[in-house]
Structure 1
Amino acid sequence: MKNNQVISLREQVGLVLRELVEVAKLGPGKLLVVGTSTSEVVGERIGTSGALEVANELLAGIEEVRNEFGFLVTYQCCEHLNRALVMERTLLDELRLTEVAAVPYPKAGGSMASAAYRSMDDPCLAETVEAHAGIDIGETMIGMHLRPVAVPLRPSIRYIGEARVNTAYTRPKMIGGERAQYVLERSIQEENESHLCD
C-alpha cells in the first residue's frame, strides 16, 4: 500500500534512510549509493516524467541525514549515462576512481543526478563504485554499485511518493567451510586443542 502523503517526500526519504543507517552502521568513511526515478515518485513510468523539484526535495532529505551521520554519498545516473555516479571530486580522488566525462541533465542522466551535480562544490562522474549500502527509489537497479555481499533491507514504508523503495547494506564475504568461525570466542590454545589442522 502506498503512502498517504501525510508526510513530505523529504520526510519519507529521511525515515527510510535513517532505518538503513541504523542497520548498516553508516557513518564517516562509509559510502551510500542513491538511485532515484523521479518519474516513478510522481506516479509515471521510469524515464518519462523527470521532475527537478521532486529531486531537490529528496536531495534535501538525504543531505539532512548525511550531515547528521557523516557518511559519504554518490548519486546514480540513468541508463543514458550508463548508470555513472555523481560525486564530489574529493571523493573521487579519495577512492582513486577514474573520472568519466559527462554532465547529467534531466533527459540524459536523470533529474536526481542532475540536481545532485548542481548542488555539489566540485562535482564529477565516475563509472562505478563499491558502496557499503544503497537506497533505490523507483527500481533503478543500484546493485551494480554495491559491494558483495548485498543484504536486502525492507524499510517500514515501501513507497516514497508513488515509487517503490528498497534498501540494501553489504557484509564481508564469509569464507571457510564447516570449521570456520566468524566471532572470536576462544583462545588460540583452546582452538589448537579442539582441532588440529596442520
Structure 2
Amino acid sequence: MDEQDLTEQVAQVTREFLKVAGLKPGQILVVGCSTSEIAGKRIGTASSLEIGEQVVRGLLKATREYQVYLAAQCCEHLNRALVVEAQAAEIYGLEEVTVVPVLKAGGALATATYRALHRPVVVSHIQAHAGMDIGGTLIGMHLKPVAVPVRLEVKTIGAAHLTFARTRPALIGGERAVYR
C-alpha cells in the first residue's frame, strides 16, 4: 500500500465512522494505533514514523472536516497519555503532563500527531465521545463510561484489525423510565 493510499484509506474510514457515530463539532475522537500491526508485524515490534505520519494525515483530514478534536493515544511507555490540541485541553479541563512523545516512548502515532498539531499538548486522561483502535491498542480506558461497539464494512487498515466504539449517556431509571 503506498503512502497516498494509506492516508486516504484512513481518512475514508474515519469519515464513515464519524458519520455513523454521530459526533458533533467540538467532541473528541480518541485513536490508538499500532504502526507495527499495520505493517503486518506484532504490536510494538516495528514502529514506523512514516506509517504514523500517513495515518495522522488521514485522521486530521477527516476530523477537521467534521470539526472534532483528535486525541492520539501514546504507548504504554508514557502510560497511554494522549496528544491533543491545547484548545481541547482547555475546553475540557484536561490535565496536562510534561513530556514530548518520541518513537520509542510514545509511539509513532503520538509522535506524528504531536508534530502535526498546531498547539499540541499531552494529557494524562480523557473521556472521549468515540474511539477508533487500529491494531489492538486498547483505547477503552479513554472513552466515556457507556461505550457502544460500532461495526463498519472496513475491518482492517493494512494488516491491522479495526475496532470502533461510540458512547452514549447512561440509561437510568429502570422499567418505568422513558427514553428518547
Q: Give TM-score, length-normalised by structure 1.
A: 0.86
User: Structure 2 CA distance, aligned partners of 1:11 and 1:157?
Assistant: 13
Larger radius of gyration: 1
Q: Deviations over 1:126-153 (max 9, x none)?
A: 1110000011000000000000210111
Corresponding residue to 1:170 among 155, 161, 167: 167
Indicate the residue corresponding to 1:109 in structure 2. Answer: 106
Deviation at 1:15, TM superposition (A): 2.4
After TM superposition, the runs of 4+ consecutive aligned structure 1 residues lying more than 6 A away are none
Deviation at 1:27, TM superposition (A): 2.9
RMSD: 1.4
User: Structure 2 CA distance, aligned partners of 1:151 and 1:108?
Assistant: 30
Indicate the residue corresponding to 1:24 in structure 2. Answer: 21
Q: Match of 1:181, SS?
A: coil
> Does 2:106 match 1:94?
no
> Does 2:145 match 1:148?
yes
- Contact 1:139–1:165 at 8 Å: present in 2 too? yes
Number of aligned residue pairs: give it.
179
Q: Deviations over 1:18-73 (max 9, x none)?
A: 22111211231211001000011001111111111111111111111112111111
- Contact 1:51–1:111 at 8 Å: present in 2 too? yes
User: Structure 2 CA distance, aligned partners of 1:11 and 1:27?
Assistant: 22
User: Structure 2 CA distance, aligned partners of 1:112 and 1:11?
Assistant: 16
Structure 1 vs Structure 2: percent identity of aligned residues?
Answer: 49
Unaligned runs of 5+ in 1: 184-198
Q: Match of 2:178, SS?
A: coil
Indicate the residue corresponding to 1:120 in structure 2. Answer: 117
Q: Match of 2:176, SS?
A: coil
Indicate the residue corresponding to 1:193 in structure 2. Answer: none
User: Structure 2 CA distance, aligned partners of 1:122 and 1:34?
Assistant: 18
> Does 2:63 match 1:73?
no
- Contact 1:20–1:169 at 8 Å: present in 2 too? no
Which amino acid letter does the alignment assign opposite residue 15 of structure 1? Q
User: Structure 1 CA distance, aligned partners of 2:164 and 2:13?
Assistant: 8
Indicate the residue corresponding to 1:47 in structure 2. Answer: 44
> Does 2:89 match 1:60?
no
- Contact 1:16–1:156 at 8 Å: present in 2 too? no
- Contact 1:27–1:69 at 8 Å: present in 2 too? yes
- Contact 2:21–2:150 at 8 Å: present in 1 too? no
Indicate the residue corresponding to 2:127 in structure 1. Answer: 130
- Contact 1:76–1:142 at 8 Å: present in 2 too? yes
Unaligned runs of 5+ in 2: none
Deviation at 1:165, TM superposition (A): 0.7
